[in-house]
A and B are shown apart, each in its own frame.
Chain A
């Protein structure tokens, strides 16, 4: 290993720290907008009202309290798995602003991931306030355990869910980032995100828990990447009954597949990049 490459290796923690700090500072400039995003992503809390009624009817194998817990966790997972890189990337390609990033000796992808992490940290206090308000309105979410015990999913489940959450974020990031590469050919790619958003919305567990699905359909969907973006980490906390090993293997498999696809398209796409503007 050369002296230069050793220095580069040693410099990575500093690079990541500085980039995260700077992008967090940048996102804090948009705090009002990000607060509105935290409010605008309350779909799971709205769906909770619908499914709580279903839980009370006894038609589904979930109780009203389980519905509360599931959707409040889904809301939190959503806050750390939202990916908006396609809109940003489209802007950079169409305006030529990607060019300065391409001249830096660091892959722009790393910066985009750190921008998301900075945005998540900015969003966190607003999301926590919304969750706090919800728990104040529906205290049985915490206190509704058997014989009045407090709800505690267990440290192991919480840690596994956090790992699953950030793996879900990386999976969703690379899925969208692979689609971003189309910007090198077609420029306006943000609309293409709708192609992924529909199956994400219906098959991720965002608007209904998977327990409500027939077994054959659920089994098919569990081979797709979508349930692992919301349902899998949520279930680890709420029920602790998710297929842990299989779940993580499928997540890593899809993440690797989208990563390879993005790298392939990145190298092809850069040949089409016209660095427009100027």
Chain B
């Protein structure tokens, strides 16, 4: 049975719409107008036990709204959600003991007290025996390389230290399902790496399912084999990370180094010219034509070196979002199959 089952999930918000200026203010006071914003539109996917899934989308795509529905914080307008076989917005304690949500900008740490006090609270409310709680705190602190910070007031900690403490608080009860919303937001490179390694270890050790949103592709490539992408509230891709490039980047980049200088017109016969710098040319060549074109290049020209690469994943995903945003149907993304 999947850990998370989402079927035709939708959420619509009524948002007050105010025009600028004094007249707008008075109109807003007398007769308030509301716009209906459909934040999530008919999203469906499933997550299997132990799976780590990247949840991607541009700002305002509906990622956080979806996470809030998956954790039961907000009620869906339509569709259904089941997490560990339960409906999350019923907020049954049995389910709450098995899930967690880390939101990068929302702290559960008590601001004026040291993190250890918040961890004591969590240990008590999750009924973790005191000796076991101490063992888990030591273990988590060790995995996240955090020590003295636990007894300093939260307000005195750096953003990275606070985020590590948030993770400790969120994972103290050993949840089976982790919903992570930008867990590395604002962290330096070392802290990002530490959090990624920690999440990978946690997933392996506890077999937890993880749904992760992040604007840092390094988080996704390091942790997720599968990604779910949404844009303007709708699902646009659900499949393996590796397939994204295959599906959405029909070109490969070919860097050719020649025996002498080369001109634009000559190279244009082989593919789309990205750049020419003396003896070095960069071309974009369709995947289907790649072998034939390289054979022609080698036969026609004095090639001294040749490399073929995929475009960076960030560029491909950025292009998918751009195409989605502009309604460009050239590379209209389609929903892939769910990878178990």
B73, B93, B103, B104: the one contacting A105 at CB < 8 Å is: B93
In the complex the two chains form, is B127's CB within 8 Å of A11's CB? yes
In the complex the two chains form, is A105's CB within 8 Å of B97's CB? yes
Contact count A vs B, C-beta below 8 Å: 85
Interface residues of B in 101-122 (CB under 8 A from A): 101, 103-108, 110, 112-113, 117-118, 120-122
Measured in the bound complex, the distance between the Cα atoms of B64 and A277 in whole Å is: 10
Interface residues on A, range: 20 to 34
Q: Mark A1-40, 1 if CB is under 8 A from B, else 0.
A: 0001001100100110111001001100110000000000
In the complex the two chains form, is A275's CB within 8 Å of B73's CB? yes
Measured in the bound complex, the distance between the Cα atoms of B127 and A11 in whole Å is: 6
Given known pairs A22-B117, A22-B120, A275-B68, the reply for A105 and B126 (CB within 8 Å) is yes
In the complex the two chains form, is B120's CB within 8 Å of A4's CB? no
Given known pairs A15-B125, A22-B113, the reply for A100 and B68 (CB within 8 Å) is no
In the complex the two chains form, is A22's CB within 8 Å of B121's CB? yes
Interface residues on B, range: 35 or more
Closest-CB distance, A4 to chain B (whole angstroms): 7
Given known pairs A99-B106, A278-B105, the reply for A271 and B75 (CB within 8 Å) is yes
Task: Kindly list chain A residues whose C-beta atoms are within 8 Å of the C-beta of B99.
Answer: 103
Closest-CB distance, B176 to chain A (whole angstroms): 14
Given known pairs A22-B120, A274-B13, A275-B74, the reply for A105 and B106 (CB within 8 Å) is no
In the complex the two chains form, is A103's CB within 8 Å of B120's CB? no
Given known pairs A99-B73, A275-B73, the reply for A18 and B106 (CB within 8 Å) is no
With A102-B72, A270-B89 given, can you name 4 additional A-B contacts, CB distance below 8 Å? Answer: A25-B117, A99-B103, A99-B106, A277-B105
B residues in contact (CB < 8 Å) with A: 13, 64, 68, 71-75, 89, 91, 93-94, 96-97, 99-101, 103-108, 110, 112-113, 117-118, 120-127, 181
A residues in contact (CB < 8 Å) with B: 4, 7-8, 11, 14-15, 17-19, 22, 25-26, 29-30, 96-97, 99-106, 270-271, 273-275, 277-278
